[in-house]
Chains A and B, each alone.
Chain A
């Protein structure tokens, strides 16, 4: 039952996305804000982040339903992972690598709920070296940041983040990363650098069983062989030479 509903929801999201992509072209063509704008590279001819370039290695497995993200939040995260991981000669797009699925799963799970974090008050802001001091869980903080960035995009350009062109979205993320974008409610730099970016890196490089790094594409990209990692003999045999197992990395799932 739920499977059917979820598939239905996903199809709806895809249809909406395609419809939205067509609208974006028109909106962007009509509303170029020009110089002085934070996001100055809104070029209508370029495809948007959410509808980025064709995938070199299409993944035939059906995408998993989201557990934590709302449709709007999912659209945002999908756009973000496609900007940070465009389809290219190294990997398929961020979505097709499972990066959005990974982030959603982590937000829905113990990490997102703040498991293991000291959450007693009082809460005060402090030096960044003391770490995040928010009463929010990572899931709440992540979503608050998504809402703040979308609000900013709408304020500046009249469109949400996912409708920016990839280069405009990339420029915005760089500005956020470098703490050049201020928001009244929260620190977008901390949001990106302490929550989103670490999740992105994990999504790429954690074991594929967590939903990201599909088919160990990033392990293959860098040459990390994965499991079982029993190298007593290889330690000597492959010292200083290419390691053959790096071409076909194995996940925990391959040994379960």
Chain B
């Protein structure tokens, strides 16, 4: 039997980035917050200390910081016609476990998306006409604007001590920054990271082609930094153990470094670790979330935790799963074309070309998670699509983030996979090669969605979430076009060898890491019929239930998703302060 606990004002599911940001705003106003995190605290573990922090096998290959697939995974099918199967070991994306969530082991790349991203449907329709968006592409505006989020972007960048170069300060284009950047009120809090050798080569080549490269905005701290809350960051060591690792140098902007230590000093804040939320208690008649049920993984005891307000801030996919398990809102049905929960599941359309230079020392191990040099000319709608058979685009970069030797296996085309010739190629090219990557947008498709698997369950007997997903025609065409641009840039660098120029293609392969940027499923919007949550992230079917994370994005852009997600979470914190004062539909 579940033990019933005393009621709390706000209970937050998940102890990651969004939960930390929402809690910061709430506790600053004296509001009582309880965060429930299924994993433990990594701060004093081997993962956060030298020398074992630098263990590629343990943290990277064996996924020491990632969701335990034995307990809970996802099932997948590429189309509705197929039978889904459980992904028994997921490589494609890496949800976190433990304080900080996936943001404790992220690389730190932090974009503001394009000014037009929150109004993307309006943008495309006004530029190319209503017929430009295919009927099977349910793009929708977010119901909010970049202008409304800008103050929160600014706050987040200062809290996390971002390193970068502004491209657009209050409408004035800045030399050396991204000319396509949405207007910002200030320069980045810290100067950019040091450029890599690969970055310099990419910069020279793209400038010669008339493009405008700039340093990738980074939550890796280029110097010593003290944020507005008095929390501090050390200087980045460029150790090449960033994504999939905890930063032992305290130099990566993460919730476990910058938010939770502060929150733990604030009255009214509590985080319970090893608390795995199983269920949201929902009163359908009253249209209220009464609280959550969770399992204490240390004792096996189940608890009922009532609350005035429930915030879902778990990993993207978990937010959707919890709503489906509790039957809150109508599940998306692609046949009847109704329902919203699970709709607009998107990913990231990535591709890349490897380049090899026998006389250049790339030294890939001299790198940080976000050491990248980028161009934005071919991203999203930064170029004219009127003659293109697709929508969207990609940021293109030379992002050397590490030289970890198990993962860094670049050899020229035609190299055998073992034997002396293989060893020779590894010896010849490890320090002399890198990749130029395209991180592409992924727009929603009517047939890409999430629902509960009819057969497979997690270790607690609850249905797994089922992904029905593949790269559809629009994304494949876009990637083909963008990857040819990557090829042109690579050729301009005059490498000794290049890998074949091939865009992202179906089928989606769970065996290859692509990015952890899965989005959608609980999308935001101005119309209840077309969205799960309002523009204030309030559930249309329970006004004391809020959902935050990349699950609210109606589409995924050609950028990493963290920036807008953090801005939305900070704004939600402020909205919740107003809601606590006077509960209502915001």
A residues sitting closer than 8 Å to B (CB atoms) are: 83-86, 88, 90-91, 110-111, 114-120, 122, 124, 126-133, 170, 173, 177, 194, 197, 200-202, 205-207, 210, 218-219, 221-232, 234-236, 238-243, 246, 252, 254-256
- Contact B363 A118, beta carbon cutoff 8 Å: no
Residues of B within 8 A of A124 (CB): 83, 85
Offer 7 A-B interface pairs, CB within 8 angstroms, sorted by A. Answer: A114-B70, A120-B457, A132-B89, A207-B55, A228-B51, A235-B194, A252-B51
In whole angstroms, what is the CA distance A92 to B69 when docked? 37
User: How distant is A63 from chain B, measured CB to nearest CB, in Å?
Assistant: 21
> CB < 8 Å: which of B56, B62, B87 contacts A116?
B62
- Contact B87 A130, beta carbon cutoff 8 Å: yes
Closest 6 CB pairs of A and B: A222-B430, A255-B51, A84-B418, A205-B405, A229-B239, A90-B423
Task: Please tell me if B3 contacts chain A, counting CB pairs below 8 Å.
Answer: no
Interface string of B390-410 (1 = CB under 8 A from A): 000000000000010110010
- Contact A118 B197, beta carbon cutoff 8 Å: no
- Contact B238 A119, beta carbon cutoff 8 Å: no
Interface-centre pick from A120, A230, A236 (highest chain B CB count, 10 A) = A120
| Complex interface: stretch among B444-452, B502-510, B569-577 | B502-510
Q: Contacts A218-B426, A224-B405, A239-B195 known; list 4 others, CB within 8 Å.
A: A85-B423, A117-B69, A117-B89, A129-B511
- Contact A252 B54, beta carbon cutoff 8 Å: yes
Q: Which residue of B lies closest to A245 (CB)?
A: B365
In whole angstroms, what is the CA distance A116 to B86 when docked? 13
User: How distant is B467 from chain A, measured CB to nearest CB, in Å?
Assistant: 10
- Contact B426 A221, beta carbon cutoff 8 Å: yes
In the complex with contacts A232-B235, A232-B236, A91-B54 CB distance below 8 A: no
Interface string of B195-214 (1 = CB under 8 A from A): 11100100000000000000
Interface residues on B, range: 35 or more
- Contact B430 A224, beta carbon cutoff 8 Å: yes
Residues of A within 8 A of B91 (CB): 131
Residues of A within 8 A of B90 (CB): 131
Task: Please tell me if B52 contacts chain A, counting CB pairs below 8 Å.
Answer: yes
Task: Please tell me if B360 contacts chain A, counting CB pairs below 8 Å.
Answer: yes
Interface-centre pick from B73, B235, B427, B508 (highest chain A CB count, 10 A) = B427
Interface-centre pick from A231, A242, A243 (highest chain B CB count, 10 A) = A231
- Contact B62 A111, beta carbon cutoff 8 Å: yes
User: How distant is A192 from chain B, measured CB to nearest CB, in Å?
Assistant: 10
Residues of A within 8 A of B566 (CB): none
> CB < 8 Å: which of A170, A231, A252 contacts B366?
A231
Q: Which residue of A lies closest to B71 (CB)?
A: A118
User: How distant is A90 from chain B, measured CB to nearest CB, in Å?
Assistant: 4
Task: Please tell me if B68 contacts chain A, counting CB pairs below 8 Å.
Answer: yes
In whole angstroms, what is the CA distance A64 to B236 when docked? 39
- Contact A200 B418, beta carbon cutoff 8 Å: yes
In whole angstroms, what is the CA distance A223 to B68 when docked? 34
Residues of B within 8 A of A234 (CB): 238, 366
In the complex with contacts A221-B427, A252-B55, A90-B420 CB distance below 8 A: yes
- Contact A117 B70, beta carbon cutoff 8 Å: yes
Task: Please tell me if B586 contacts chain A, counting CB pairs below 8 Å.
Answer: no
- Contact A118 B69, beta carbon cutoff 8 Å: yes
User: How distant is B232 from chain A, measured CB to nearest CB, in Å?
Assistant: 16
In the complex with contacts A116-B89, A130-B510, A227-B54 CB distance below 8 A: yes
In the complex with contacts A131-B510, A205-B405, A229-B237, A116-B51 CB distance below 8 A: no
In whole angstroms, what is the CA distance A148 to B317 when docked? 40
- Contact A239 B420, beta carbon cutoff 8 Å: no
Task: Please tell me if B50 contacts chain A, counting CB pairs below 8 Å.
Answer: yes
Task: Please tell me if B499 contacts chain A, counting CB pairs below 8 Å.
Answer: no
Q: Which residue of A lies closest to B422 (CB)?
A: A84
Task: Please tell me if B123 contacts chain A, counting CB pairs below 8 Å.
Answer: no
In whole angstroms, what is the CA distance A132 to B90 when docked? 10
- Contact B360 A129, beta carbon cutoff 8 Å: no
- Contact B76 A130, beta carbon cutoff 8 Å: yes
- Contact A201 B51, beta carbon cutoff 8 Å: no
Residues of A within 8 A of B196 (CB): 239
Interface string of B90-127 (1 = CB under 8 A from A): 11000000000000000000000000000000000000
> CB < 8 Å: which of A118, A197, A207, A221 contacts B56?
A207
User: How distant is B223 from chain A, measured CB to nearest CB, in Å?
Assistant: 10
User: How distant is B458 from chain A, measured CB to nearest CB, in Å?
Assistant: 8
Interface-centre pick from B86, B241, B420, B455 (highest chain A CB count, 10 A) = B86
Residues of B within 8 A of A224 (CB): 365, 403, 405, 430
Task: Please tell me if B424 contacts chain A, counting CB pairs below 8 Å.
Answer: yes
Task: Please tell me if B80 contacts chain A, counting CB pairs below 8 Å.
Answer: no
In the complex with contacts A118-B86, A224-B430, A206-B56 CB distance below 8 A: yes
Interface residues of B in 46-80 (CB under 8 A from A): 50-52, 54-57, 61-63, 68-70, 72-73, 76, 78
Residues of A within 8 A of B62 (CB): 110-111, 116
Residues of B within 8 A of A238 (CB): 361, 363, 366
Task: Please tell me if B88 contacts chain A, counting CB pairs below 8 Å.
Answer: yes
- Contact A218 B405, beta carbon cutoff 8 Å: yes
In whole angstroms, what is the CA distance A238 to B52 when docked? 25
Residues of A within 8 A of B238 (CB): 231-232, 234-235
User: How distant is B386 from chain A, measured CB to nearest CB, in Å?
Assistant: 35
Residues of B within 8 A of A131 (CB): 87-91, 510-511
User: How distant is A132 from chain B, measured CB to nearest CB, in Å?
Assistant: 6
Task: Please tell me if B521 contacts chain A, counting CB pairs below 8 Å.
Answer: no
- Contact B73 A85, beta carbon cutoff 8 Å: no
- Contact A91 B423, beta carbon cutoff 8 Å: yes
In the complex with contacts A84-B418, A90-B427, A236-B194, A120-B237 CB distance below 8 A: no
